[in-house]
């Protein structure tokens, strides 16, 4: 039985279902040995909470990586989420280069922007650093805004299939290999994901739930990686991750006190069944 060892690099929000507190249980449920490298520790995530604490762990990353190299630890895949600085991106690139087994996959979620804007902590220098990381990876999972920043293409609130095709073309021309473009919807009540791999483009459409939830991008990316490492094709993994994420949102609706994330844990049994385990 395949038992891959994955490293995921992103922050920890101690309260709030996102980043490592999502990635670790989802990947573990997929039957994957999941190793973590925290880029920062926050008391809560930053969406809706005030007065949160943050401890940046950038300075710890090189020593951790050096210890792993000394112990001859290597990974079957490395999956990155939110990275806090250009310095962290450089350290992650070094990990890609030195701590992977032959044939290992690199999966980058360039978590840096949404709704046409970069996150407040980031600037163009960060975008340029992310381009190097993303275009060198085996798989990238940008939303439309992030894809626009990676390519320099103008962001549009309204778009059609030709616009998305042009965006994919630019990503491919820049060096992207497998592209999983999230949040693509051509009708008000629908959204979906577009996968381009080896020149073939496929679209999976599903219902759009009006009320957004924090952390669903991390849920999606983690479920995608879990399916991919279980032998699913990129497209089938993208479909499974979309269905799982929708289910997590459905299980959270109607609970006004649970505004800070989705109840992804309640859907983990369904996720395991989706994987055929």
Q: CA-based angle 74:128:44, to the nearest 5? A: 65
CA 141 from centre of chain: 6
> 5-274, which class in CATH?
alpha beta
Query: Cα separation of 135 and 112, whole Å?
Result: 15
Which pLDDT value is given to residue 213?
79
Range 55-91 burial, b when 16+ CB lie within 10 A, else e: eebeeebeeebeebeeeeeebbbbbbbbbbbbebbbb
Sign for the pseudo-dihedral over CA of 159, 161, 166, 167 = positive
Which pLDDT value is given to residue 211?
66
Place of tokens 């949040």: 183
Give the model's confidence band at 130: pLDDT under 50 very low, under 70 low, under 90 confident, else very high.
very high
Mean pLDDT (whole number) for 78-86: 96
- For 217-237, the pLDDT digits (tens) are 999 999 999 999 999 999 999
Cβ neighbours, 10 Å, residue 252: 22
Alpha carbon separation from 270 to 66, 99, 143, 204 (Å, rounded):
38, 33, 25, 20
Query: Cα separation of 15 and 85, whole Å?
Result: 22
Query: Cα separation of 73 and 69, whole Å?
Result: 6
Mean pLDDT (whole number) for 68-91: 97
Higher pLDDT, 253 or 135: 135
pTM of the prediction?
0.96
Which pLDDT value is given to residue 51?
93
User: Would you give the end-to-end CA distance of the chain in angstroms?
Assistant: 12
State the average pLDDT for the chain. Answer: 95
Mean pLDDT (whole number) for 58-64: 97
Give the model's confidence band at 210: pLDDT under 50 very low, under 70 low, under 90 confident, else very high.
low
Mean pLDDT (whole number) for 73-90: 97
């Amino acid at each position: 039985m395949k038992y891959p060892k994955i490293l995921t690099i992103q922050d920890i929000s101690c309260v709030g279902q996102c980043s490592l507190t999502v990635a670790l249980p989802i990947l573990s449920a997929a039957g994957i040995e999941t190793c973590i490298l925290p880029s920062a520790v926050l008391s809560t995530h930053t969406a809706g909470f005030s007065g949160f604490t943050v401890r940046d762990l950038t300075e710890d990353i090189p020593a951790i990586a050096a210890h792993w190299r000394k112990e001859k630890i290597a990974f079957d895949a490395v999956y990155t989420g939110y990275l806090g600085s250009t310095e962290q991106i450089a350290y992650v690139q070094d990990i890609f280069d030195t701590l992977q087994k032959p044939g290992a996959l690199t999966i980058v979620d360039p978590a840096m922007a949404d709704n046409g804007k970069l996150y407040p902590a980031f600037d163009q220098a960060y975008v340029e650093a992310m381009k190097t990381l993303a275009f060198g990876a085996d798989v990238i999972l940008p939303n439309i805004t992030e894809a626009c920043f990676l390519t320099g293409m103008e962001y549009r609130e309204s778009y059609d299939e030709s616009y998305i095709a042009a965006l994919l073309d630019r990503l491919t021309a820049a060096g992207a290999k497998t592209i999983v473009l999230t949040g693509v919807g051509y009708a008000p009540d629908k959204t979906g994901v577009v996968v381009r791999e080896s020149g073939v483009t496929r679209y999976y459409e599903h219902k759009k739930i009006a009320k957004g939830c924090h952390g669903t991008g991390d849920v999606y990316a983690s479920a995608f990686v879990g399916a991919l490492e279980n032998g699913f094709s990129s497209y089938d993994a993208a479909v499974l991750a979309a269905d799982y994420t929708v289910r997590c949102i459905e299980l959270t609706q109607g609970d006004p006190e649970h505004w800070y994330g989705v109840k992804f844990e309640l859907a983990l049994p369904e996720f395991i069944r989706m994987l055929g385990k």
